[in-house]
Structure 1
Amino acid sequence: MADVQGTTVTIPTRDGDADAYLTHPADGKPHPGVLFYQDAYGLRPWLNGMADRLAAEGYTVLVPNVFYRRGPAPVVELPEFIDPPSDPTIWERLGPLVHSITPERAERDADAYLGWMARSPLVADGPVAVTGYCMGARLALRTAATHPGRVAAAAGFHGGNLATEEPDSPHLGAGRITAELYFGHADQDPSLPEEQRRRLEDALTAAGVRHTSEVYEGAPHGYTQKDTSSYDAAAEERHWEALNSLLRRTF
């Protein structure tokens, strides 16, 4: 695995400047790009460490602060160990931020993130991959649908509300997707019940999207996040195997 170099960068968007964490192999050469969408807890040391691990596999990884409209990360101060059951005020503070990312804002932001990556000398020419966690899985699915010419692969892990009955549900963009998709669903996840998993599967299959959907048995929502009470080590390692396999097939 390669040594990596991480830094904070600024991405101009139509709604202001977004701060982001950028990490890449330390050789300074261009590498395939991966757009990494945060979970609801935002940019923080654990998420940056995940991006570094991915970069060490030979990728240039961009992790934008999707809540940049409310300020630079950390937008909400959180404890080193995040345990919402013991502090319900965490979601009282985060909920409005999550709901502020409308489909229209998500598409505009993806334009900016992907455009920045296309101009970066650290990102190899050609399409990119996208991965997302929790709310980031929704953003990854939307980005694959709204930017089919740029996104060759997209993955989502413990994503919620991927296939609701709302008229703007992310799964409704399946017909525009040309990327290969992978989903690692959390078994114990009230935000993505079996009904939604079936609806997502049916939409992707009907649209002819290359995809794999797996349910991680016993894994709770948030299983990849070691700094939270939802962490599951076995599920996290399974997610790395699946993500790296997808990226190797793509690049």
Structure 2
Amino acid sequence: MEQEIDVRAADGAMNTFVVHPDEGAPWGCVVVLMDAPGVRDSLRDIARRIATVGYLVALPNLYYRLGRDVTVGPTRDHPEAETNRARLAVLVRSLPRPGVATDVGHLLEHLGERFPVAPGRAAVVGYCMSGAFALLAAARDPARIACAASYYGTRLVGEGAESPHRRIAAYPGEVYLAFAEHDEYAPPDVVAAVSHALATGRARYRVEVYAGTHHGFAFVDRGTFDRPASERHFERLFALLRRHLDARP
């Protein structure tokens, strides 16, 4: 079953796509955070697939501060690519990192009040720009978020204690991070810095680089889509979710 709901978030009503099985409640809850181009059919399809294995999945519009249906067209090999890239940069800059983590908290509260979800059995999954958001949300709320995953996450490494790679190192749950082998937004030095921080922290973790892939490999609507890598991303994600969200004795 699927529907769109409005969640009272930090700065207004955050429209959110929700999909869940017909039976089997209470469900573990998975929050899927969009990449920079915004919520669209390919992301809804990812949410639907996750729901088929037994979870309630919520896909919020993180651009709700700007509108209910904010998306960006192709940024490569298209007549409007340059315009779209400029618009994308403006949209990404509009998102306050602390605000997104707070929005995830409001979303989990709302889902717990409205749907039969299991307390303490939530996961956050982020793609591209939202890899950092997923890690920060988990680090902020470990009592509710049991695990987190980042796929070809960007801006994971920065200065100061609030950098995502430092915040997640102190997280008591489990994190999974997958990177593309060829990714200008997450080069090898970023992967090394994230791996080092996790190795010296308390989080249970796994970091993988998918050989031969490029940024966006999991999205069927991207020119860099790689079906074997996309299937591998689901395989790793489902294993993580089973470990933390399935019914506990």
TM range (shorter): over 0.9
Specify the code of the residue in structure 1 equivalent to 2:71.
V
> What is residue 175 of structure 2 aligned with on the other side?
181
Q: What is the correspondence of 1:34-73 to structure 2 with a 5 Å cutoff?
A: 34-73=30-69
Show CA shifts across 1:79-113 (max 9, x none): xxx35243222221111111222222122212211
Aligned: 1:84 with 2:84: no
Q: Distance in 2 between matches of 1:40 and 1:232?
A: 19
Specify the code of the residue in structure 2 equivalent to 1:249.
R
> What is residue 136 of structure 1 aligned with on the other side?
130
> What is residue 7 of structure 2 aligned with on the other side?
11
Aligned: 1:110 with 2:104: yes
Q: Distance in 1 between matches of 2:160 and 2:222?
A: 29
> What is residue 19 of structure 2 aligned with on the other side?
23
1:235 corresponds, among 224, 229, 243, to 229
> What is residue 117 of structure 2 aligned with on the other side?
123
Shift of 1:243: 0.3
Partner SS state of residue 117, structure 1:
helix
Q: If the length of structure 2 is used for normalisation, what is the TM-score?
A: 0.92
Q: Distance in 2 between matches of 1:201 and 1:175?
A: 9
Q: Percent same amino acid among aligned pairs?
A: 34
| Structure 1 residues not aligned, in runs of 5+ | none
Contact 2:120–2:146 (CA<8 Å) still a contact in 1? no
Contact 2:130–2:153 (CA<8 Å) still a contact in 1? yes
Q: Distance in 2 between matches of 1:151 and 1:77?
A: 30
Q: Distance in 2 between matches of 1:159 and 1:235?
A: 15
Q: Distance in 2 between matches of 1:122 and 1:230?
A: 37
Shift of 1:176: 3.5
1:154 corresponds, among 118, 126, 148, to 148
Shift of 1:77: 5.1
Specify the code of the residue in structure 2 equivalent to 1:33.
C
More deviation in 123-132 or 237-246?
123-132
Specify the code of the residue in structure 2 equivalent to 1:84.
R
Q: Distance in 2 between matches of 1:179 and 1:99?
A: 29
Q: Distance in 2 between matches of 1:28 and 1:98?
A: 37
Q: Distance in 1 between matches of 2:120 and 2:201?
A: 24
Partner SS state of residue 88, structure 1:
helix
Q: Distance in 1 between matches of 2:218 and 2:199?
A: 27
Specify the code of the residue in structure 2 equivalent to 1:64.
P
> What is residue 204 of structure 1 aligned with on the other side?
198
Q: What is the correspondence of 1:211-230 to structure 2 with a 5 Å cutoff?
A: 211-230=205-224
Q: Distance in 1 between matches of 2:118 and 2:49?
A: 19
More deviation in 150-159 or 164-173?
164-173
Contact 2:33–2:59 (CA<8 Å) still a contact in 1? yes
Structure 1 136/72 Cα, relative in aligned 2: closer, same or farther at 3 Å?
same
Contact 2:24–2:54 (CA<8 Å) still a contact in 1? no
Specify the code of the residue in structure 1 equivalent to 2:183.
D
Shift of 1:115: 1.3
Partner SS state of residue 206, structure 2:
strand
Show CA shifts across 1:146-167 (max 9, x none): 1111111101111112113466
Contact 1:76–1:93 (CA<8 Å) still a contact in 2? no
More deviation in 227-236 or 106-115?
106-115
Contact 1:83–1:229 (CA<8 Å) still a contact in 2? no
